Amino acid sequence: MTETKKIAVISGDGIGPEVVAEAEKIIKRTEEVFGLSFTTEHALFGGIAIDQKGTPLPEETLKVCKSADAVLLGAVGGPQWDNNPKELRPETGLLGIRKELGLFSNLRPAVIFDCLKDASTLKPEVLEGTDLMVVRELTGGIYFGEKFRREGANGEEAVDTCVYNVTEVERIVRQAFEIAQKRRKKLASVDKANVLETSRLWRETVNRIAPEYPDVELEHVLVDNCAMQLLRRPASFDVIVTENMFGDILSDEAAMLTGSIGMLASASMGEGSYGLYEPVHGSAPDIAGQGLANPIATILSVALMYRLTFGYAEAADAIERAVAEVLDAGHRTADIASNKSSALSTTQMGDLIAEAIRK
Ligand code: IPM
Ligand code: MN
């Protein structure tokens, strides 16, 4: 028996509770098969926390997260909170939890699943071999800079400031170099250094530390060009590192290359092995509560958690293998099924994957 680890579980809103329930099924199954041991503690976050506690990120939730080794998050948000003031929006909770837990690095892999090639809007020959990872800076830049309104010469103005210091750039870029070293050893640093001062600092910093990673091939790509190259030559990218807002936009683009956003997992990491893991997709309120959601992205988030936080590589591999096996056998949830009438429900998909997990 291994040491018992603690996972904070945040189901959130919309389809969050449904997909998280399947991920918990997978956690239980790996305890049985691999002799792992976890305690889970549930906490309120997002829209449901606004409704029940009057804030998207209750103190109690932060406490639960801080006392855990890792956090599993479903999804947050929904139309009923869209017109709320800033403090009462799920998104504000998301930014708060990232900052409070020091999660400065957001890893969003985009991989083409062979059996789902047809799901993409791009031609198969363009997609062939695409396997990239967007490393997005998550606690700085324009998201967290000073924001205010003021009276200007021509009436009301709004200001968002974008600030980066060298330390913030260095730590994320180092993580990206290290990730590239474990992959295909290519790093694209994305900025807008032809216009923005923060981008010039970013690029200088990248160039200063690049000699410490001589085995990694580095290219600088301007963000507008990167948006284009992702559609033109996606397979040529390995690791992409970029600042917060560029990363927000490019990681959505990269996810859509795969055509199967219901399949992609992500991790938000700080300095050590602590991490928050969540599907790339949102809370999909339109299909919530109907058993239609694809739980695979959340299940694969558990695999990512096992690998990055706990170092349980064998169990992580087994989860990923089980997902591949079930897909290869032709099982599909509605989002990725060509024949919707034979699609599996959320729990059926979770059951099949759980059963397929073995040593
Ligand atoms: C994401 C989301 C969030 C972001 C929003 C909901 C605040 O789009 O995780 O990518 O912009 O970071
Ligand atoms: Mn986003």
Q: Which two tokens stand for residue 348?
A: 């059926």
Spatial CB neighbours of 70, under 8 Å, sequence gap ≥ 6:
5, 7, 8, 274, 275, 276, 277, 305, 309, 310
Q: Is the CB of 91 under 6 A from ligand 1?
A: yes
Closest residue to atom 11 of ligand 1, CA basis? 248
pLDDT score for 339: 87
Report the alpha-carbon distance of residue 355 to residue 228 in Å, rounded.
41
Q: Quick: pLDDT tens for 235-269.
A: 999 999 999 999 999 999 999 998 888 999 999 99
Report the alpha-carbon distance of residue 173 to residue 340 in Å, rounded.
43
Active site residue: 114, 252, 286, 328, which one? Answer: 252
Closest residue to atom 8 of ligand 1, CA basis? 248
248 CA to centre of ligand 1 in angstroms:
7
Closest residue to atom 9 of ligand 1, CA basis? 248
Q: Quick: pLDDT tens for 136-192.
A: 999 999 999 999 999 999 999 999 999 999 999 999 999 999 999 999 999 999 999
Confidence of residue 6 (pLDDT cuts 50, 70, 90): very high
Q: Is the CB of 250 under 6 A from ligand 1?
A: no
| pLDDT higher than 90, residue 325 | yes
Q: Is the CB of 72 under 6 A from ligand 1?
A: no
By most ligand atoms within 8 Å of CB, the mutation choice from 10, 94, 138 for ligand 1 is: 94
- State the alpha helices, DSSP H only, in the chain: 16-34, 47-53, 59-66, 90-100, 124-127, 166-181, 197-209, 223-232, 244-257, 296-305, 313-328, 346-356
The ligand that comes nearest to the alpha carbon of residue 99 is 1
Alpha carbon of residue 154 to chain centroid? 41
Distances (CA, A) of 14 to 49, 142, 154, 170: 13, 28, 42, 37
Q: Which two tokens stand for residue 282?
A: 């949102």
335 CA to centre of ligand 2 in angstroms:
20
Confidence of residue 118 (pLDDT cuts 50, 70, 90): confident
User: Does 143 qualify as catalytic in the annotation?
Assistant: yes
Residue 95 alpha carbon, nearest atom of ligand 1: 7
| pLDDT higher than 70, residue 1 | no
For residues 104 and 276, is the Cβ–Cβ distance under 8 A?
A: no
Task: Name the superfamily (CATH) of residues 121-257.
Answer: Isopropylmalate Dehydrogenase (3.40.718.10)
Asked, colleague to colleague, whether 1-104+261-359 and 121-257 share their fold, the answer is yes
252 CA to centre of ligand 2 in angstroms:
6
Q: Is the CB of 94 under 6 A from ligand 1?
A: yes
Mean pLDDT score across all residues of the chain: 96
Determine the average pLDDT of the residues in 301-305.
98
Q: Which residue has the tokens 């998301």?
A: 94
Q: Where are the domains of the chain?
A: 1-104+261-359, 121-257
| pLDDT higher than 80, residue 336 | yes
By most ligand atoms within 8 Å of CB, the mutation choice from 81, 248, 249, 250 for ligand 1 is: 248
pTM for the full predicted model: 0.95
**pLDDT above 70: percentage of residues in the chain:** 100
Residue 244 alpha carbon, nearest atom of ligand 1: 12
Report the alpha-carbon distance of residue 80 to residue 96 in Å, rounded.
20
Q: Is the CB of 253 under 6 A from ligand 1?
A: no
User: Of 216, 222, 220, 217, whose CA–CA distance to 205 is shortest?
Assistant: 220
Active site residue: 5, 248, 274, 335, which one? Answer: 248
201 CA to centre of ligand 1 in angstroms:
24
Q: Is the CB of 248 under 6 A from ligand 1?
A: yes
95 CA to centre of ligand 1 in angstroms:
8
Active site residue: 5, 69, 143, 213, which one? Answer: 143
98 CA to centre of ligand 1 in angstroms:
11
Q: Please identify, in words, the CATH class of the domain defined by 1-104+261-359.
A: alpha beta
Q: Quick: pLDDT tens for 18-45.
A: 999 999 999 999 999 999 999 999 999 9
Q: Quick: pLDDT tens for 185-204.
A: 999 999 999 999 999 999 99
284 CA to centre of ligand 2 in angstroms:
14
Instruction: Give the torsion sign (CA, 319, 30, 331, 17).
Output: negative
